Amino acid sequence: MKNALFATVVGGLLFTSCTVDDNPPIEIDNIDVPETYAFERNDNSSVNFEGQTTRLVMVGELLSSFNDFDNATEASLSNMYSNVNDPFSSEELNSSSKSIKSKVAASQLYFTGNTEESHALKNDFESFITGQVNEVFPNKNEVATPGVAGQIADGSSVRYVNGKGLEYNQAFAKGLIGALVADQILNNYLSVEVLDAGDNVEKNDAGLTEEGKSYTTMEHKWDEAYGYLYGHPTVPVANPNAALGDNADQLLLKYMGRVEADPDFAGIAEETFEAFKLGRAAIVAGKYNVRDQQVEIIRENISEIIGIRAVYYLQAGKRALEAKKMGTAFHSLSEGYGFIYSLRFTHNPATNAPYLSTSEIDAMLEILMDGDGFWDVTPEILDALSATIAAPFNYTVAQAAE
Amino acid sequence: MKNHKLFTLIFFISILISCNSDDSKKSTDKDSFDRGALLENWADNIIIPSFENFASYTTDLEEKTEAFVQEPSEANLASLRASYEEAYIQYQTVAMFGMGRAETINYRMFLNTYPVDEAAVKGKIESGSYNLELFTSYDEQGFPALDLLLNGLAEEDAGIVEFYTSHADASEYRNYLQAVSTRINGLTQEVLADWQNSFRDEFVSNTASSNTGSVDRFTNDYVMYYEKNLRSGKIGIPAGAFTGNPVPQNVEAKYSEGLSKDLYLKALETVQNFFNGKHFGKSETGPSYKQYLDHLNSVKNSADLSSLINGQFDVIKQQATNLNADFVEQIQTNNSVMLQAFDELQKNVVLMKVDMLQALSISVDYVDTDGD
C-alpha cells in the first residue's frame, strides 16, 4: 500500500488528492461562517448545551450559600456539590442527573487513567466546604488574627477567612474556573479524543444526527465546550460578547470580561468567540484541520486568562499589603490562590500539557499557605510567584498587574 | 497562529503524512486470517464448554435450594450458600458471552443486576405477588437477590434461617428463594440449549467482516463487557470513579463477605483467557484475538499489541493483590487502591477499544455518553 501510495504522489496526483487536507486558507473560503453562534439543521437550531447551563446555575446557587451562616451546613453545601438529596431550590436542578463534582478534574485528556489524582482534586473542593463550615462558620463573630479564623475588613466589606487568611469561597469559585470549566472545555470537549471518538467523524461527514436530535455528536461536543464558557442563562446564546461585563456568570466568562477590559489584552474576547464560531462552522463543513486550529486558539486564550488573573491578584494583593490593607490583600490573594490552583487545568497547545507543572503549582500554593499563610506573605514572595506564573505565557507581570 | 514560512517548508512532508493516514483503514476482506476457524474455536472450545460447565453449577444451585426450602436448617443454608458462591464465581466465565439467546432474553440483566433492590424484594415477598419475567424486575432476582436472601437478611445464620422457618412470611420467603434459583437455572439451560442446537452454526458461519458479522458483533460485546461490566460495574462505579463519591453498597455480592474480589478475579481471568483463545478448563489455545493481531502484525509504539494487552492484564492482576478480599471494606478503608485498579483496567480499555478494534477494522457500535 505504501509503495502504491508513493507512486501516486510521484505521479503528480498529489495536488488533487492531497492538498485538501493541508491547505487551510483555501478551505476557510469554503466554510460558511455565520455572523453569530447560530447554527441550524432543517430550520431547527442545532446548538444545545443544557447540561453546561445547568452546572453553571448550580455553581451560582452553591456559591451564594457559601457564606449563608444561618442556613448552610457542611451537608447542604456538599449535597449541592454532588447534587444529592435535593439540595437546590429548583426542582429542575434537583431532578437533573448532572452534578458539579462529577465534572471536576474529569477531562478525557488529563484524567482518564488518572482517577486517583482526579479524586484528590475533586475532594479539594469538599475540603474547602469542610473548612468553611467547621473553621469559619463558628468564628463568624470573631476578628481574624494569625492562626484564628474570623472576619476581616476589606474597605466597607467584611471578608470571612480561615486562620491563614484564605477565603474558602474564593478558593472554591476560582478553583472551579480551572477544575470544571477550563478542564472540560480545553481537555475534554475540544480534545480530538472526544470530538473524534468512535465514528463521530464518519457520522459528521454524513450529516447523521444523534437520535431525535438536530445535531451530530461532534457538533454537540463542540457546543458543550462553548456552553461552559457562554452557557449561563443571563448570556445571549448567539452573541455572548454583547453581554460581556453584564451577566451573572461567576466563572470563566466573568474573568474573560475583566481581561478584555485591560487594554493590554483587548481583543481576546472577540478572538476567542470567533474561534469557537469558526471551529463550529468548520465542523459543519467537515474541515477538521481548521477546527483544530481554532482549538489551539481557544486553548491558548483561555489558559492565558487564567494565568493573567493569577498574576493580577497576586499583584493586587501585593499593593494592598504594602498599603497595610490586610483585608483587601487577603481577598485578592484568595482569588489568586484559586486562579493558581486553576493553572493545573490549562492547556499549552505547544506541549499538550498545562503551562505550569503540577509540582510548580503545588509549590506555589504551599508557599502561600506556609506558616501563617497570607499573614506572613511578603511582596517579594508575591513578585517571585508572579514571575513564575507569567514565564511560560506571552505576557509580562506588568501587563497583567493592572 | 499560522507561520506561513514553516507551513511552506513542511508542506510536502505533511502531504505524505496526511496521505498515509488515509491508508490506515485496510480492507478486512483482504486480510487472510481465517475468521471461520476463529469463530469455531470460540464456540466449540470456549463458549459452549463454559456454558456446559456453568449449567452444572446452576443445576446444583437449584437442587441445593430445594433441599434448603424443604428443610431450612443452618446446615442446609451453609450447603446452599457454598453452591451459590461457586455458581456466582462460575457465572463470571459466561457473563461476557452476550450473543444469541442470551441477548434475546437479556440473560445478563436477569442474572446479575446489582445492587439488588432490597426493599422491592422484601415488598414482593411479603405481598406474595411477583413476576420475575418482568423487565422491571431485573434488580429483584439473579445472584444479587440470592446474595441478599442467603447473607443479607440477618447478621447470624440462625437469624437468616428464621426468615424461612418462623417468620410470618416464611413460606413466601421459601417460595421466592426457590423461584430465583429456578429461574437462574432455567435461563441458563435455555441459553446453553440454543448454543448447542442452532445458534452455534449460525454464529460460526457468519464470517462476514461487516458490522453484522459474528466477529464484529462479538468483539463489540467483548470490549463492552470489559469496559462496562468489569471495569465500571465491579470497580469503577462502587469506587465512585465517575462521580468522586464512592458507593460501597454498589459492590457486587456486597452481603457475601469476601466474595467480591473472587468474582472480579474470575471475570478478569476469563477475559484474558478469551483474548488468548484458551480452551475452557484446558491449557491449550486456539485461534484468538492474540493470533489475529499477531497475524496482522499489529504494533503500537514498536511493541506487539497482543503483548501489550497481555502485559497489561498481568499488571492488573498484580495490582489486584493489593485489594482486600472484600471490596466493601476496601472502599471504606482505602478507596485509592480501588481507583488504582480502575486506572489499570482503563489502560486495556484503550488498547482494546481503540488499538485492537482499529487493527481488526471493527467499528465500535456503542458509545460513551456523559448524559449531557
Residue A5: per-residue pLDDT: 35
Are the beta carbons of B19 and A18 separated by less than 8 Å? yes
Q: Is residue B23 over pLDDT 90?
A: no
Confidence (pLDDT) at A198:
86
Selected residue of B30, B245, B319, B350 to mutate for chain A interface (largest A Cβ count, 10 A): B245
Between B260 and B298, the more confident residue is B260
Task: Assess contact for A267 and A241: CB atoms under 8 A.
Answer: no
CB atoms within 10 A of CB B148: 22
Percent of chain B predicted with pLDDT > 70 = 90
The 8-class DSSP code of residue B322 comes to T
Q: Which of B1, B178, B143, B148 has its CA nearest to residue B72?
A: B178
The list of chain A residues with pLDDT below 70 reads 1-29
What separation in angstroms does the CA of A243 have from each of A35, A262, B48, B200, B308? 16, 17, 65, 64, 52
Contact A101 B243 (CB under 8 A): yes
By C-alpha distance, the chain A residue nearest B336 is A116
- pLDDT, chain B, mean: 91
Q: Is A24 on the interface with B (CB under 8 A)?
A: yes
B240, B346, B372 ranked by CB distance to A224: nearest = B372
Q: Where are the beta strands (DSSP E) in A155-290?
A: 157-161
pLDDT digits (tens, 9 = 90+) for A351-371: 999 999 999 999 999 999 999
Q: What is the DSSP secondary-structure string of A276-337?
A: HHHHHHHHHHT-HHHHHHHHHHHHHHHHHHHHHHHHHHHHHHHHHHHTT-HHHHHHHHHHHH
Q: Could you say which of A198, A293, A296 has the minimum Cβ distance to residue B364? A: A198
pLDDT higher than threshold 60 for residue B183: yes
Distance from CA of B270 to the nearest CA of A (A): 23
Going by DSSP bridges, is the β-strand pair B299-300/B303-304 parallel, antiparallel, or unpaired?
antiparallel
ipTM beyond 0.85? no
* Cα–Cα distance for residue pair A84/B247, rounded to 1 Å: 13
CB-based burial label for B187 (10 Å; 0-12, 13-18, 19+): buried
Q: Tell me the mean pLDDT in the region B166-189.
A: 97
Residue B187 CA from chain centroid, whole number: 17
Q: What is the pLDDT of residue A29?
A: 60
Q: Would the CB atoms of A98 and B372 count as touching at under 8 Å?
A: yes
Between A9, A49, A99, which is nearest B16 by CB? A9
Main-chain phi, psi angles of A351, to 5 degrees: -120, -10
pLDDT band at B371 (very low <50, low <70, confident <90, very high): low
pLDDT at B10 over 90: no
B166-169 LR contacts (CB < 8 Å, sep 24+): B169/B125, B169/B126, B169/B128
- Quote the pLDDT of residue B369: 63
Which pLDDT score is estimated for A10? 34
Domain layout of chain B by residue ranges: 30-206, 208-364
Instruction: Give the tens place of pLDDT for each residue, B305-363.
Output: 999 999 999 999 999 999 999 999 999 999 999 999 999 999 999 999 999 999 999 98
Question: Distance (Å, rounded) from C-alpha A343 to C-alpha A143?
Answer: 32
Residues in chain A closer than 8 A to B19 (CB atoms): 5, 8-9, 14, 17-18
Average pLDDT of the residues in B83-102 = 97
Q: What is the helix (H) or strand (E) element at residue B303, kind and residue range?
A: strand B303-304
Please give the pLDDT value at position B18. 39
Does residue A209 sit at the B interface (CB-CB below 8 Å)?
A: no
DSSP string covering A365-380, please?
HHHHHSTTGGGG--HH
* Partners of residue A197 in chain B, C-beta under 8 Å: 367-368
| Contact state of B343 with A114 under an 8 Å Cβ cutoff | yes
B336 at A interface, C-beta within 8 A: yes
Specify the 3-state DSSP secondary structure of B369: coil
Q: The domain at B30-206 falls in which architecture?
A: Up-down Bundle (1.20)
Query: A394: how many CB neighbours lie within 10 A of its CB?
Result: 9
pLDDT-derived band at B300 (thresholds 50, 70, 90) equals: confident
Name the range with the highest mean pLDDT among A14-23, B27-36, B120-129. B120-129
Q: Which residues pair with A150 in a beta bridge?
A: A161
CA–CA dist A112, B126 (Å, integer): 45
